[in-house]
Amino acid sequence: MNRFTQKVLSGGIAAGLSVAVVASANAQARSGAWTLNAPEGEWHMTGRDYGLQRYSPLKQISTSNVAELRPVWSFSTGTLRGHEGNALVVGKTLYIHTSFPNIVYALDLSKAGAPQIWKHVPNQSPDAIPIACCDLVNRGLAYHPSGKLYIQLLQGELLALDAKSGKELWKAKHPAKSGAGTEAIGYKQGATMTNAPIVIKDIVIAGISGGEFGVRGRVTAYNANDGKHMWTAYSTGPDNEVMIKGDANTHYASHKGKDLGVSTW
């Protein structure tokens, strides 16, 4: 990793919807391969780790020098709605996502000014816009060590991209229920997708929004390589659909009982 990349310490999306990068005089070397926690100086998932601690082990910025930070470059995302979720840093590349239409950018941190490597604009229906309850935000990307990026689209689809080229690899609709060949559910049924997916080994887990429209809450697992549906678990319903095992909540007698999700609001 060259010196410019090592200098990149943090990024933020401000009201002007640009990504600001600050620099420090010290350099930090990258070490190790993709693991549960990304190498120092990298950020492979929302929150950086499964604990969502949002903590960087880098020590170049401290209380003694934070006042000396200055902007190095900025980048406009081109969208004017709310921006949520952190960018990802994998190797020498910074990945940025936007609000609707959920554009994904790759920027080269090895070069001055971090020029754009690629830009992917998903093909989405504007009819999904009025279905979103709380602005048109997107809460983040996910990365798989095979070189894939994942983003949930507002209209109710999980999209996989090639991290090097930005090319679409596959797109999966959210199933209405478990089982092969089930009907998909999307914005036409009041369901949208705004949260960040999570990668666990070769599984991508994605949630759904739309409870205010009567949509039944659920999380779904997809095969990270081809997007095939693996399972769906619900927030309400009988134990077999909520996917609660018989030994769940054994430490709390008041929370123990069969099919408690049936009477849950």
Q: pLDDT by residue (tens digit) across 147-193?
A: 999 999 999 999 999 999 999 999 998 775 544 445 577 888 888 89
What are 44-64's pLDDT values in tens digits?
999 998 888 888 889 999 999
C-beta contacts of 52-60 below 8 A and 24+ residues apart? 54/86, 56/9, 56/10, 58/9, 58/28, 60/9, 60/24, 60/26, 60/28
Predicted local confidence at residue 181, as pLDDT: 45
Q: Which fold has domain 3-234?
A: Methanol Dehydrogenase; Chain A (2.140.10)
Between 65 and 216, residue with greater pLDDT: 65
Helices and strands in the chain, H and E counts: 2, 16
Question: Which residues, 6 or more positions from 154, have their beta carbon under 8 angstroms from its beta carbon?
Answer: 100, 101, 102, 124, 128, 129, 132, 136, 138, 187, 192, 193, 194
Q: Cα torsion at 239, 171, 129, 187 (round to 10°)?
A: -40
CB 187 within 8 A of CB 157: no
Report the mean per-residue pLDDT for the chain.
Answer: 81
Per-domain boundaries in the chain: 3-234
Which tens digit of pLDDT belongs to each residue from 255-265? 777 777 777 65
Position 129 pLDDT exceeds 80: yes
Supply the pLDDT for residue 67.
96
Residue 23 in this model has a pLDDT that exceeds 70: no
Comparison of pLDDT for 263 and 205, the residue scoring more:
205
The 8-class DSSP code of residue 210 comes to: -
